[in-house]
Amino acid sequence: MAKVALITGGAKGIGCAVGLDLAQAGWDIAFCYRTADAAAADAAALIQKHGRRAMAERCDVSDPAAAEAFAGKVEREFGPVEALINCAGPYHRVNILEETPAGWNEMFAHNLHAVFYMSKALAPAMKARKSGRIINFSMANADQMVAQTEVTAHYIAKAGVLILTRTLAKALAPHGITVNALSPGFINSGSAPEAELAAMAKKIPAGYIGELQDAVSAVRFLLSEEARYVTGTNIHLSGGWGI
């Protein structure tokens, strides 16, 4: 029986790349997205092209009821979820003094609360099986706790993801479940203009922008048997930026 991965934010970018890589490795993939219908259909078709089952669900997992319902649907239709990969993490750029309550709450809902809701929804079944992997996405400098005047709520939420990751890791380790964070810096995921990425490369100690494959390889490691004793950690995926 194929292993099942559930990926939030799996229609585009890192989430999509991870899903395709796992499908090639023999996993069945269920992913959710909020708005990218066309991209989601393309991603599902590519997964199926690799001979694996794909479920693409338009779902806002910052809604706890929706998160629980999606998790339940995946486990009913695809079977036990071995890997939860929390990739969803939108942001907007606005000065802290001009941020609105709605914008502030949105950043926490989608970047932090959704991770809690999805983890809570899938943890009971993972505990019963004494098996499971959870990977959460933060950002490369979130552990530095520096001032971020233009992406304040997003930044604080991503710092919260690190605390939540360590807390879940401690709570779930006795049940054979690992929980880790990946913290990307600048990854060429297709969403940022090439000129902007080229300018940022000068600020990265490694001297270049990361590729989707760099993120895919890190996820693959954390899901591997070689990482069975790795839990509660935060892996910087940034070429030295933000540390």
Question: DSSP characters for 173-213?
Answer: GGGTEEEEEEEE-SEE-SSS-HHHHHHHHTTSTTSS-EEHH
pLDDT tops 90 at residue 122: yes
Residue type, 141: N
pLDDT tens per residue across span 30-51: 999 999 999 999 999 999 999 9
What architecture does CATH give domain 4-237? 3-Layer(aba) Sandwich (3.40)
Other CB atoms within 10 A of residue 61 CB:
28
DSSP state of 113: I
Q: What does the domain layout of the chain look like in residue ranges?
A: 4-237
Chain-centre distance of CA 217, in angstroms? 14
pLDDT tops 90 at residue 164: yes
pLDDT tens per residue across span 42-76: 999 999 999 999 999 999 999 999 999 999 999 99
Residue type, 235: I
Q: For 130, phi and psi rounded to 5 degrees?
A: 60, 40
Evaluate whether 28 touches 3 at the Cβ level (below 8 Å): yes
Give the E-state strand segments of 59-215 in sequence order: 81-86, 132-137, 177-184, 187-188, 210-211
Q: How many residues in total does the chain contain?
A: 243
- Provide the 3-class DSSP secondary structure of residue 106: helix
Catalytic residues: 155
pLDDT classification of 230: cutoffs 50, 70, 90? very high
pLDDT tens per residue across span 165-222: 999 999 999 999 999 999 999 999 877 777 788 888 999 999 999 999 999 999 999 9
Q: What is the model's pTM?
A: 0.96
| Residue 84: predicted pLDDT | 98
| Residue 33: predicted pLDDT | 97
pLDDT tens per residue across span 136-157: 999 999 999 999 999 999 999 9
Tokens 């971020």 belong to residue: 148
Evaluate whether 215 touches 163 at the Cβ level (below 8 Å): no
Which residues, at least 6 apart from 149, have a Cβ–Cβ distance to it below 8 Å? 95, 96
The whole-number average pLDDT for the span 87-97 is 94
| Residue 195: predicted pLDDT | 79
- The rounded distance, in Å, linking the Cα atoms of 22 and 42 is 16
- The rounded distance, in Å, linking the Cα atoms of 44 and 46 is 5
The angle subtended at Cα 60 by Cα 55 and Cα 65, nearest 5°, is 95
| Residue 97: predicted pLDDT | 98
